[in-house]
Amino acid sequence: MPEQPIFLTRPYLPPLEEFLPYLEEIWASRRLTNGGPFHQQFEEALRQYLGVPQVCLFANGTLALMTALQALRITGEVITTPYTFAATTHALLWNGIKPVFVDIRRDTCNLDEELVEAAITPRTTAILPVHCYGNPCASLRLQQIADSYGLKLIYDAAHAFGVSVDRHSLLEQGDLAMLSFHATKVFNTFEGGAIICHDAKLKQRIDYLKNFGFADEVTVVAPGINGKMSEFQAALGLLQLKHIDQAIAARMRIDRRYRDALASVAGVRCLVAADGVKPNGGYFPILIGSEYPLSRDQLYDRFRSRNIHVRRYFHPLISDLPMYRGIASAAPANLPVATSIAKQILCLPIYPDLDHKVVDRISEIVCSPY
């Protein structure tokens, strides 16, 4: 009989009986979407929890990122990372923007800030970095570059819910930041997302854009889309906020257990958070080097043969996908670190209710590959 599958991640869901009163209220009100009461409550609760000036809720993170680019009127070329989920660069293409790929740092897997300036051309209008696995980008340097060249700075912070640096939210940085509340994320609303911005005027433009551009019943002020979050998503978000600190704490206990078990394994490297960073335990990536007796793909196959769903996250690189590989900056020779990391990366399962005995079993597979 095959072993029960162990997935890379599993969405945290609070007890159903806690969610039922929210559903009953939605049923009674018949208000399902279009900025209902739960939407308004969740937006404010999230703003306070994250410690940010303004929150604009969305049906998902991809729509949020597409709208962020529209809100800042980004055109031409945008410098970004090849080491990310497809939605990051797809949002650029959907806006008619050309991605320009820059290599990543080996220590964080984030955009290498020291290579950004060389990629700037007269057509460059913005930088789109990703806080990969929730690891903070070198935001101070990126902001200096953006200010020097008059560029917008938009963060894909899909992995970075609740992450702080020196007790300041990562989401305060840049002109805008996008969050994802997809079911695989640390904080989820089934599907969902948000844009974090700094002032009420820009929030109003974003809110117009996510609702077809309607300013009122008869006035359309922008070519918007339907990006609104439903009352069901918002209600779950309100409930999830009550449990999120415990969920992150549980993730971090698993993170420490993995690190302790793998610390002395030759050829296995765990990414380490910088000083002052409060991580969220969203992912547990390891890098399989040449000293390890198996290749990354051989270790991947060993896990999958045991029904343990590890993931090569991110492989392949975005720059290797058919719609991007013809771009000059996508050439592997321009991206040696990203190309190397994509061949080494393996993300191990991590979620709040992952049994520690299972964590130990997963660690043992890495420690004893034969």
Q: Is residue 8 part of a domain?
A: no
Residue 131: alpha-carbon gap to chain centroid:
7
Clarify whether residues 133 and 212 are in a common domain.
yes
**First vs last Cα of the chain: how many Å apart?**
22
Residue pLDDT, tens place only, 307-362: 999 999 999 999 999 999 999 999 999 999 999 999 999 999 999 999 999 999 99
Q: Is residue 10 part of a domain?
A: no
Burial of 35 (C-beta count, 10 Å sphere; 0-12/13-18/19+):
middle
Q: Which residues contact 30 (CB under 8 A, 6 or more apart)?
A: none
Clarify whether residues 228 and 252 are in a common domain.
no
Q: How many domains does the chain have?
A: 2
Q: Provide DSSP, 142-165.
A: HHHHHHHHT-EEEEE-TT-TT-EE
Q: Count of CB atoms within 10 A of residue 224's CB?
A: 19
Clarify whether residues 125 and 264 are in a common domain.
no
How many CA atoms does the CB half-sphere of 26 hold within 13 Å? Answer: 19
| Domain endpoint, select from 222, 240, 258 | 240
Residue pLDDT, tens place only, 83-117: 999 999 999 999 999 999 999 999 999 999 999 99
Pinpoint the alpha helices (H) of the chain. 16-29, 37-50, 61-71, 86-94, 139-149, 200-209, 231-262, 296-305, 336-344, 356-367
| Domain endpoint, select from 185, 214, 240 | 240
User: Closest by alpha carbon to 366, among 307, 310, 282, 315?
Assistant: 310
Q: Is residue 7 part of a domain?
A: no
* Per-residue model confidence as pLDDT tens for the chain (370 residues): 347 899 999 998 889 999 999 999 999 999 999 999 999 999 999 999 999 999 999 999 999 999 999 999 999 999 999 999 999 999 999 999 999 999 999 999 999 999 999 999 999 999 999 999 999 999 999 999 999 999 999 999 999 999 999 999 999 999 999 999 999 999 999 999 999 999 999 999 999 999 999 999 999 999 999 999 999 999 999 999 999 999 999 999 999 999 999 999 999 999 999 999 999 999 999 999 999 999 999 999 999 999 999 999 999 999 999 999 999 999 999 999 999 999 999 999 999 999 999 999 999 999 998 7
- Contact call for residues 284 and 311 (beta carbons, < 8 A): no
Clarify whether residues 109 and 199 are in a common domain.
yes
Q: Is residue 293 part of a domain?
A: yes
| Domain endpoint, select from 200, 215, 240 | 240
Clarify whether residues 228 and 342 are in a common domain.
no
CA dihedral 241, 243, 248, 253 (to 10 degrees): 170
Clarify whether residues 235 and 249 are in a common domain.
no
pTM of the prediction? Answer: 0.97
Q: Is residue 6 part of a domain?
A: no
Clarify whether residues 90 and 24 are in a common domain.
yes
Q: Range of 122's domain?
A: 16-240
- Contact call for residues 282 and 133 (beta carbons, < 8 A): yes
Clarify whether residues 205 and 279 are in a common domain.
no
Q: Is residue 53 part of a domain?
A: yes
Mutual orientation of helices 356-367 and 231-262 as an angle, nearest 10°?
A: 50
Clarify whether residues 275 and 291 are in a common domain.
yes
Clarify whether residues 232 and 255 are in a common domain.
no
Q: Is residue 265 part of a domain?
A: yes
Clarify whether residues 184 and 80 are in a common domain.
yes
Q: Is residue 4 part of a domain?
A: no
Q: Which CATH number does the domain housing residue 102 bear? A: 3.40.640.10
Q: Which CATH number does the domain housing residue 273 bear? A: 3.90.1150.10
Q: How far is CA 29 from CA 26, 41, 58, 134, in A?
A: 5, 15, 21, 38
